[in-house]
Protein backbone atom coordinates (compact mmCIF):
# COMPACT_ATOMS: atom_id res chain seq x y z
CA UNK A 1 0.00 0.00 0.00
CA UNK A 2 1.44 3.36 -1.05
CA UNK A 3 1.05 6.21 1.39
CA UNK A 4 0.05 9.56 -0.15
CA UNK A 5 2.44 12.45 0.37
CA UNK A 6 1.85 16.10 -0.30
CA UNK A 7 4.12 19.06 -0.90
CA UNK A 8 3.69 22.24 1.14
CA UNK A 9 2.69 25.44 -0.62
CA UNK A 10 5.41 27.71 -1.95
CA UNK A 11 6.10 31.25 -0.79
CA UNK A 12 4.59 33.52 -3.45
CA UNK A 13 7.52 35.94 -3.02
CA UNK A 14 10.71 33.85 -2.94
CA UNK A 15 9.40 30.45 -4.13
CA UNK A 16 10.64 28.52 -1.08
CA UNK A 17 8.74 25.37 -0.10
CA UNK A 18 6.96 26.27 3.12
CA UNK A 19 7.87 23.26 5.25
CA UNK A 20 7.80 25.76 8.15
CA UNK A 21 5.90 29.02 8.63
CA UNK A 22 6.51 31.58 11.35
CA UNK A 23 3.29 32.71 13.06
CA UNK A 24 2.99 35.35 15.76
CA UNK A 25 -0.29 35.83 17.58
CA UNK A 26 -1.45 38.91 19.41
CA UNK A 27 -4.58 38.66 21.51
CA UNK A 28 -6.28 41.47 23.39
CA UNK A 29 -8.17 40.60 26.57
CA UNK A 30 -10.52 42.80 28.57
CA UNK A 31 -11.54 42.27 32.16
CA UNK A 32 -15.23 41.49 32.54
CA UNK A 33 -16.26 42.71 36.02
CA UNK A 34 -19.59 40.86 35.87
CA UNK A 35 -17.82 37.51 35.44
CA UNK A 36 -14.61 38.37 37.31
CA UNK A 37 -12.39 37.16 34.49
CA UNK A 38 -10.67 38.25 31.30
CA UNK A 39 -12.29 37.56 27.94
CA UNK A 40 -10.75 37.72 24.48
CA UNK A 41 -11.98 40.80 22.61
CA UNK A 42 -9.62 41.03 19.64
CA UNK A 43 -6.69 39.28 18.07
CA UNK A 44 -4.63 38.86 14.96
CA UNK A 45 -1.99 36.54 13.59
CA UNK A 46 1.02 37.47 11.51
CA UNK A 47 2.40 34.71 9.29
CA UNK A 48 5.70 34.99 7.47
CA UNK A 49 8.07 33.00 5.29
CA UNK A 50 11.11 31.87 7.29
CA UNK A 51 13.34 32.42 4.25
CA UNK A 52 12.43 35.92 3.00
CA UNK A 53 10.20 37.11 5.91
CA UNK A 54 7.36 38.01 3.50
CA UNK A 55 3.85 38.40 4.91
CA UNK A 56 1.85 35.24 4.07
CA UNK A 57 -1.60 36.37 5.18
CA UNK A 58 -2.98 36.14 1.61
CA UNK A 59 -1.80 32.53 1.39
CA UNK A 60 -3.23 31.60 4.81
CA UNK A 61 -6.25 33.91 5.39
CA UNK A 62 -7.77 31.41 7.86
CA UNK A 63 -4.45 30.78 9.61
CA UNK A 64 -1.71 28.26 8.99
CA UNK A 65 -3.38 25.65 11.23
CA UNK A 66 -6.48 25.67 8.99
CA UNK A 67 -4.60 25.12 5.70
CA UNK A 68 -5.45 21.95 3.78
CA UNK A 69 -3.50 20.90 0.69
CA UNK A 70 -5.40 21.11 -2.58
CA UNK A 71 -4.50 17.49 -3.18
CA UNK A 72 -1.64 18.07 -5.60
CA UNK A 73 0.98 15.41 -5.11
CA UNK A 74 4.61 15.57 -6.25
- For the stretch 32-71, pLDDT in tens is 999 999 999 998 889 999 999 999 999 999 889 999 887 6
38 occurs within a structural domain: yes
Residue 7 inside a domain? The answer is no
Residue 13's contacts (CB-CB under 8 Å, 6 or more residues apart) are 49, 52, 54
Residue 47 domain flag: yes
pLDDT at 44 (0 to 100) = 87
In a domain, residue 36? The reply is: yes
DSSP-derived pairing of the beta strands 22-32 and 37-48 = antiparallel
Model pTM?
0.70
Q: Report how many domains make up the chain.
A: 1
Whether 40 maps to a domain, the answer reads: yes
Q: Which of 23, 15, 25 is nearest to 51 (CA)?
A: 15
In a domain, residue 16? The reply is no
**HSE (side-chain half, CA atoms, 13 Å) at 6:** 10
Q: What is the pLDDT of residue 74?
A: 46
Say if 17 falls within a structural domain: no
Count of other CB atoms within 10 angstroms of residue 13: 15
Q: Which residue range forms the structural domain that includes residue 53?
A: 23-60
Tell whether 72 is covered by a domain: no
pLDDT recorded at residue 72: 53
Amino acid sequence: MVKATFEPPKCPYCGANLFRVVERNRIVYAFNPEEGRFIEVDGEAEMECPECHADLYDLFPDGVCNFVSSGEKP
